[in-house]
Each structure stands twice: as C-alpha cells, then as structure tokens.
C-alpha cells in the first residue's frame, strides 16, 4: 500500500475533525490493527497542535463498543483506563458481529460529556491478501476526497431539498415512494454542528430526517442475489406486497443521498451510502441526525442504483435530479 495514499486519507480525516467547533485539543484514536493510516492520522493531529492518544483493538475484534463517558467532563472510560479527551476517533468494526455495546443513547451520553465522536469505516481483519489491498485502496480514496469539495457538493443538494415541498423516488414499473414535509435537511457537517458533534468518515452524505407518517407508496431495496426486494409503505411502515403485517418493526425515518464521487457503491456498507448518486432509507432512531423519532437502534438499507429522485416544488412542479 502506497504511504502517500494513507497520508492523503489521514490528512483529510484531520481536516474533517478540524471542521468541528470547537476544534479538539486531545484526540483519543481507537483503531483495530496496525494499518499505517492510523499512525499518519496521529501525526496529522499532532501537526495541528492536538494531543493524540492511541489505543488499539485486535484486528479480529468486530464488536461495536466506543468508549463510555466518565463521570468527569471530557473524560472517558476505556479498557480500564480513565482518559481525558475532547474527541474520540473510533475505527468501526468491519463486518460487525452484531454484538453492540450501546446505541444512539450511548453516543448521546458521550457527546453530552463534552466529547465529539467520529467513526471511521475502514477494512480490517481480512485474511485474503488478494482482497485486502484493493479494498483498502477503495476506502483510502474515499477518505482522501477533499473535505471542502464534499461540503460544497453536499450544501448544494441540501439547498435544493430545502426548496422542495415533497420528493418522489421512482423504481420503474410505476412504483414510487413519496415523502412529504415536514422534514429536516442535514449534511455531515450541518448535523455535527446543529445536532450532536458526530461525524461518520468517509464523508459525503445528505439526508432528510422525516416523520414516518409522511412516507408512503412503494419501496424497492437492493438485493444482490435475486433482484430488488419489494415492499409497500404506509405511514413509514414497510410490508410485503399483499400483507398487512409489518416486515420491519421500525418505520422509515430517513432518506439518504450520497455525494462523494470517490466512494465506491458497496451495498450495505456506510461507504456505499456516501457514493455519489446512491440513495438509502433509514429506520429507527433519527434524533441524532435532526429528527424527533427516538429508538435504541438506527440502520439503513440501500436502494437500487436505478432508482430516480424527483423533487416536487410547492407549485407542484417536478424536477428530476441526481443526488
């Protein structure tokens, strides 16, 4: 792996963290394995005058369990230690095992203790060398996308969504998902500054936090093996066609749009959600991202790449756009 690729990615990771206000002074970096990305990121933090504190998890650790807030402000408890920090940069488990410690409430408590949180989606623990380097390159490229360019792209789409009265997502065969106001439009940095100081890296997402009762129609969800899974939607609840029983106990609370031109569309990954022209729907909690629906979980499902977004203006004019 070229050191320059890791360095470029690490530089933009630090730039993203610096975009939070106030900028951090002490950064706890929790990584899995020993990829050079983390060493270079710590170096870039130090160049900005921050104090990086590194802790490492085993590469095979696939449990999602970020540091817990301590009773003292701007302190966390992690691996039996009390650590002072203003920000936690946490290496997400790649292909998590479903064993999670906490959820939205855990992040809410962490941020309430005066600590910003950035999760980083990056491969680890892969055993096939033929897969490892190409996949790492895909993620490094997305991480290295200039933050300023991504913010510009995101702000442009967000402004367009703000001017719309409703959206429609077309799946073909006269199948359409309709979402109407009220909703809240957010971008990566817009949410980090308005809601809670949380970033998910790589960057590159715009979303609307919507109310379930404002979502209805048809929904196609990407399925790599047998074509899209098809559902009907009534007040945010999805069900199999012809069935009155919910297919998921949690309603749709988010419509997401990717804007990162360097992110590869890998379905059912957070990287895929950032890929330009991609769309996804989110279920469960949306209080961390600008909404009012509280839950103990949040998860997303990708829409097919063929889905088309149409914006409906207040005077019923329609405009087909690309995220």
Range of weakest confidence among 49-63, 154-168, 184-198, 231-245: 49-63
Does the pLDDT of residue 139 top 80, yes or no?
yes
Q: What angle do CA 146, 149, 154 make, to 5 degrees?
A: 125
Cα–Cα distance list, 144 to 76, 141, 242, 260, 307 (Å)? 29, 5, 46, 11, 27
Does the pLDDT of residue 233 top 90, yes or no?
yes
Answer yes or no: pTM beyond 0.85. Answer: yes
Q: State in words which class domain 3-144 has.
A: alpha beta
Each domain of the chain, given as residue ranges in start order, spans 3-144, 148-187+204-321
Contacts of 297 (CB under 8 A, 6+ apart): 103, 104, 250, 283, 284, 285
Cα–Cα distance list, 85 to 30, 94, 117, 271 (Å)? 12, 25, 11, 27
pLDDT tens-digit map of 72-85: 999 999 999 999 99
Residue 305 confidence (pLDDT): 93
For 257, list phi and psi in degrees, rounded to 5. Answer: -135, 130
């Amino acid at each position: 792996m070229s050191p320059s690729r890791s360095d470029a990615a690490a530089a933009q990771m630090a730039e993203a963290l610096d975009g939070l206000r106030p900028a951090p002074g002490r950064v706890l970096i929790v990584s899995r394995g020993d990829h050079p990305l983390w060493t270079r990121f710590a170096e870039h933090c130090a160049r900005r005058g921050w104090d990086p504190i590194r802790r490492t998890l085993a590469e095979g650790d696939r449990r999602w369990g970020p540091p817990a807030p301590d009773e003292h402000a701007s302190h966390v408890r992690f691996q039996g230690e009390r650590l002072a920090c203003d920000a936690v940069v946490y290496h997400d488990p790649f292909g998590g095992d479903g064993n999670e410690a906490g959820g939205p409430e855990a992040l809410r408590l962490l941020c309430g203790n005066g600590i910003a949180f950035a999760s980083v989606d990056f491969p680890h623990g892969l055993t096939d060398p033929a897969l490892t380097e190409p996949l790492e390159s895909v993620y490094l490229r997305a991480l290295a996308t200039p933050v300023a360019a991504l913010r510009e792209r995101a702000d442009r789409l967000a402004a367009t969504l703000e001017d719309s009265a409703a959206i429609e997502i077309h799946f073909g065969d006269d199948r359409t998902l309709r979402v109407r106001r009220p909703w809240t439009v957010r971008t990566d940095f817009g949410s980090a500054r308005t809601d809670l100081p949380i970033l998910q890296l790589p960057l590159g997402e715009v979303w609307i936090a919507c109310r379930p009762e404002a979502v209805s129609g048809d929904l196609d969800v990407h399925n790599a093996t047998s074509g899209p899974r098809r559902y009907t939607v009534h007040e945010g609840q999805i069900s199999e066609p012809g069935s009155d029983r919910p297919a998921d106990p949690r309603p749709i609370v988010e419509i997401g749009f990717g804007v990162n031109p360097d992110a590869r569309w890998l379905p059912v990954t957070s990287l895929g959600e950032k890929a330009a022209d991609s769309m996804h729907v989110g279920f469960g909690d949306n209080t961390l991202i600008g909404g009012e629906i509280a839950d103990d979980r949040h998860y997303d499902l990708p829409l097919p790449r063929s889905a088309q977004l149409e914006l409906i203006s207040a005077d019923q004019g329609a405009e087909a756009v690309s995220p």
